[in-house]
Homo-oligomer: A and B are copies of this chain.
Amino acid sequence: MKNTFGTSVSITLFGESHGPAIGAVLSGMAPGIPVDRDFIALQLSKRRPAGRISTARVEEDDFDIVSGVFNGRTTGTPITVVIPNRSVKSGDYSEISRLARPGHADYTAQLKYHGYQDYRGGGHFSGRLTAAIVAAGAIAVSALEAKGVKIGTHIKTCAGIADRDFSDIEEDIARLNGLGFAVLDGEIAQAMISEIEAAASEGDSVGGVLETAVFGIPAGVGEPFFDSVESVISHAMFSIPAVKGVQFGDGFALANMRGSIANDPFEVSDGKIITNTNRSGGVNGGISNGMPIVFSCAVKPTPSIYKPQKTVDYVSLRNAELSLKGRHDPAIIHRARVVVDSLTAIALCNLLAQRYGTDYLMPAADK
């Protein structure tokens, strides 16, 4: 299933940056889930570029729900969201279509699709496709919230500057979901923005790390080995074009700890089993342990920069220099955050439906 992720709940993604539309089919969601267009629009607004730190391409992100929703609720059949492409300036791209942008998929697309790819604006490889993930994912996010499962992501580091750690996870998630630039400490947010602007003024770009917390997933979800919670979530995360690393809990830092430190001691608290620390990120042996699921994604700096770069003309096989024009983001980490939330929600709906069946996310009154 090349363009489909998930089995019990799945998303199929389609579209090109400068084609007629992009979109997604979300299949397997329970019936009866309220679908709030305003919430979808809100989620899309978090991905939309804004201000000096983003590309000048601003779109309203109109979206059409063309299937799977009736009388304001999911029907249980596939939900399709289509987002038309309106603000398209293909002229910006036509002259560079033979010069492979370093760090981008121009060259690999050429090799895979033999020149038939729609190269305009990155075509199918454009970050724009993530808008469709966000629109479909918003329905998954709402459905989970109604069951007490809450997802929040902050910019853990950006351009070398670090946000504070999660403290009270439920509160922090709530706070993050109200922010446009998702940093827990407001002053640190300003410092990050300054660094992004500094990079932008030099025609350059920055990256960062996103850290995501999920509160409320019951213990016992996921599989040993190939459908571990980590396997399923990382599979989703690594499909986001800029993500180059994924770690759970303390991740790579665990590699330098001793077992006596790395192990999360169990304890009974209010008659419930919890762990005292959460270095494992809420997953033991591939299966959720009832603690918050916590993971981080490394987001590389935006590859499209204005600084001149060495590259090749992949048709003539000659070395060349590339000076990009057009609209490009000096950072996408603040926009990627809602893409991570959305795909996480879809991955979790899939794991929950596998565990508890089709109707698990249906409003309780109707069962």
Contacts and interface: CB of A to CB of B under 8 A. Distances in A.
A103 B287 contact: no
A166 interface: no
A114 B32 contact: yes
B244 A245 contact: no
Tell which of A3, A111, A228 has the most Cβ of chain B within 10 Å.
A3
A285 interface: yes
Interface string A68-81: 10100111111110
A68 B14 contact: yes
Given A111-B220, A244-B281, A117 B76 contact: yes
Contact of A116 (B74, B207, B246): B74
A219 B299 CA distance: 23
Q: How large is the interface on A (under 10, 10 to 19, 20 to 34, 35 or more residues)?
A: 35 or more
A177 interface: no
A300 B255 contact: yes
Contacts of A366: 114-116
Tell which of A25, A115, A307 has the most Cβ of chain B within 10 Å.
A25
Given A114-B366, A226-B235, A207 B255 contact: yes
A209 B252 contact: yes
A2 B27 CA distance: 7
A220 to B, nearest CB: 4
A326 interface: no
Contact of A298 (B219, B254, B289, B305): B254
Interface in A180-238: 199, 204-209, 219-220, 223-228, 230-232, 234-236, 238
A353 B231 CA distance: 21
A295 to B, nearest CB: 9
Interface stretch (A38-46, A49-57, A145-153, A355-363): A355-363
A251 B284 contact: no
Tell which of A118, A209, A289, A317 has the most Cβ of chain B within 10 Å.
A118
A25 B8 contact: no
Given A64-B20, A260-B309, A285 B109 contact: yes
A80 B66 CA distance: 13
Tell which of A67, A206, A302 has the most Cβ of chain B within 10 Å.
A67
A14 B207 contact: no
Nearest to A207: B255
A264 interface: yes
A23 interface: yes
B13 A4 contact: no
Contacts of A249: 244
Tell which of A77, A129, A238, A266 has the most Cβ of chain B within 10 Å.
A77
B301 A259 contact: yes
B74 A354 contact: no
Contacts of A206: 258-259
Contacts of A23: 66-67, 80
B103 A263 contact: yes
B244 A103 contact: no
The 7 closest A-B pairs by CB, nearest first: A105-B285, A245-B247, A205-B259, A357-B357, A31-B116, A103-B263, A108-B287
10 contacts: A1-B227, A2-B8, A16-B77, A21-B80, A76-B113, A103-B259, A108-B286, A245-B246, A262-B300, A356-B357
